[in-house]
Homo-oligomer: A and B are copies of this chain.
C-alpha cells in the first residue's frame, strides 16, 4: 500500500482547488472556515457519510482561558491571566509540553471562545462548581481537570476552564458540530462525504500538492494548489497501530472515538516525511466520580498502599492506576460514602466487611497493609490533612462507618475508555515537521492527527482535545491562507 503518489505519475487531476481539508470533524471544519474567510476555494473530504468526527461524539467541553479570562470567565468574575494559564499547562505536561504550541494557545484561547460564540455556538453565563466530568445542569463553565488538586493548585491559581455549550450535557458535540457544519455549508466550502483519502500527492520538491481519494468505488486525484490539511483524528480504532504503540493499554481498554480514528492522517503524514511523536501516550479514563462523594474513598494498589490523591481528574487517576503492579487498583470506601460510579456501573465489589481487617483478608491483600493505610489516612483526615498525597481537605473525611467495601478498579476488569494522544509533530501553524523539524511544504495537520496541547494522560483535562483541535484547526487554515497570499 503506497500512501504517496508522485505528481509526475498523475495523468490528470479530476478536480482542482486552492486547499483540501481531509476530515470534517472539529479541526477540519475550523480549518475550512478560516480558509474560506480568507477567500480561498476549499474542498473538505470526509470519509464518513456526514461530518462531525469524534468532536461530534464528545460533550464538547473546550478548555480555554488566559488573556485575563475568556468573556465567559470574565462575565462570571473569574480572572485567568496568561501567566496563570501557561503555568497550569506547563505543569500538566512538564517535559512533554511543546512551549511554542502552549504559547500560541495561551495567547489565542480567549479570542477563540469569542470566535466560537460568533459562529453561533450557544453558551450560558453560569458556573458549575461541583465535581463532575460533564455538568448536566446546563451551566457553561466548570472545572474539568486537576486545577484544584495537588500539585497543580500550588503551581497555578485554580480557575474553571471547561466551556460547555449551554444546556447540552453530553450532547455538546452535536450542538457544536451542527453549528460549525452549517457555517461550513453557508461559507461555500465544497464538502464531499464518503470520500476516503488514500494517498497524498507530492511533487519532486517534496511539496504536497493534492490527494488521492476513493469515492464511488474508484480512485480520484484532486489537486490542492496551496496545500492539504490533515484532520483525520487519532488512531485508537486501528487495531494494529494500537498494538504497536500502546500494547499494554490496547489489551485492556475500551476504544473511545469514531470509527474513522484509524490513524490514516498520521500514516499519510509520516509517508510524506512527517514525524509521529508521543505515539505511546494515551488518555485512560478511570472515572470514579460522579457521584462526587466517591472522592471521599481511597485508592489502594496490590500492596494495600495509596498511590494518588483521589481528587484528581479521571485521566490522571487512569495514568496512576496504569503504573501500579499489573495495572491493578481498588477503591476502599465506607457505608457513608458508598455509591456506584456513574461511568463504571459494572464495577465489581471484591470484599465487604464490618472491619477493615475483614475486607483486607477477603480481598487477599497483604496482612496489615490495608489496615495500616486506612488507619493512617483516617488519623490524618480527622486532622484535615493528607501529608502523603495532599488530597484537598474538601474531600478528606475518616472512613469509619461500616460496612466497608473494596471495589475493583483494575484496568483489566474496568476496561477504561482510552484514546491516543500521539500524532504528527507540527508547528503552531500546523505545518507538518520532519524528524529534523524541517517543514514539509504544503502539508498541515491539526486535531488528534497532530500531537497537540495534551500530550500525556497524566496532565489531561476534559476539553483539551476539542479546544486544541478547533483552535489549531483554525491556525492551520490561517497559516495556509497566509502562505497562499504570499506565494
**Would A387 and B367 count as touching, CB distance under 8 A?**
yes
**Would A206 and B244 count as touching, CB distance under 8 A?**
no
Given the complex, which residues of B lie within 8 Å of A434, measured CB to CB? 1
Nearest to A304 among chain B residues (CB) is B388
Contacting B at CB under 8 A, from A391-425, are 425
Q: Is A345 an interface residue (CB 8 A)?
A: no
**Would B271 and A271 count as touching, CB distance under 8 A?**
no
Alpha-carbon distance between A251 and B95 when the two chains are bound, in angstroms: 8
Assess A244 versus B277: contact at CB under 8 Å? Given A95-B250, A250-B95. Answer: yes
Contacting B at CB under 8 A, from A351-399, are 366-369, 372, 376, 387-389
Alpha-carbon distance between A387 and B187 when the two chains are bound, in angstroms: 66
Alpha-carbon distance between A425 and B323 when the two chains are bound, in angstroms: 25
Given the complex, which residues of B lie within 8 Å of A372, measured CB to CB? 372, 376
Alpha-carbon distance between A372 and B388 when the two chains are bound, in angstroms: 13
Q: Is A436 an interface residue (CB 8 A)?
A: yes
Smallest beta-carbon distance A97→chain B, Å: 8
Determine the main DSSP class of A at the interface with B.
loop
Nearest to A95 among chain B residues (CB) is B247
**Would B387 and A437 count as touching, CB distance under 8 A?**
no
Chain A interface size range: 35 or more
Say which one of A132-140, A155-163, A278-286 lies at the interface with B.
A278-286
Q: Is A273 an interface residue (CB 8 A)?
A: yes
Alpha-carbon distance between A436 and B438 when the two chains are bound, in angstroms: 25
Given the complex, which residues of B lie within 8 Å of A366, measured CB to CB? 387-388
Residue of A245, A263, A369, A388 ringed by the most chain B CB atoms within 10 A? A388
Given the complex, which residues of B lie within 8 Å of A436, measured CB to CB? 1, 240, 267
Given the complex, which residues of B lie within 8 Å of A81, measured CB to CB? none
Q: Is A2 an interface residue (CB 8 A)?
A: yes
Q: Is A275 an interface residue (CB 8 A)?
A: yes
Q: Is A75 an interface residue (CB 8 A)?
A: no
Assess A438 versus B1: contact at CB under 8 Å? Given A95-B248, A388-B366. Answer: yes
Given the complex, which residues of B lie within 8 Å of A369, measured CB to CB? 376, 387-388
Alpha-carbon distance between A486 and B425 when the two chains are bound, in angstroms: 41
Residue of A251, A304, A436 ringed by the most chain B CB atoms within 10 A? A436
**Would A435 and B241 count as touching, CB distance under 8 A?**
yes
Q: Is A270 an interface residue (CB 8 A)?
A: yes
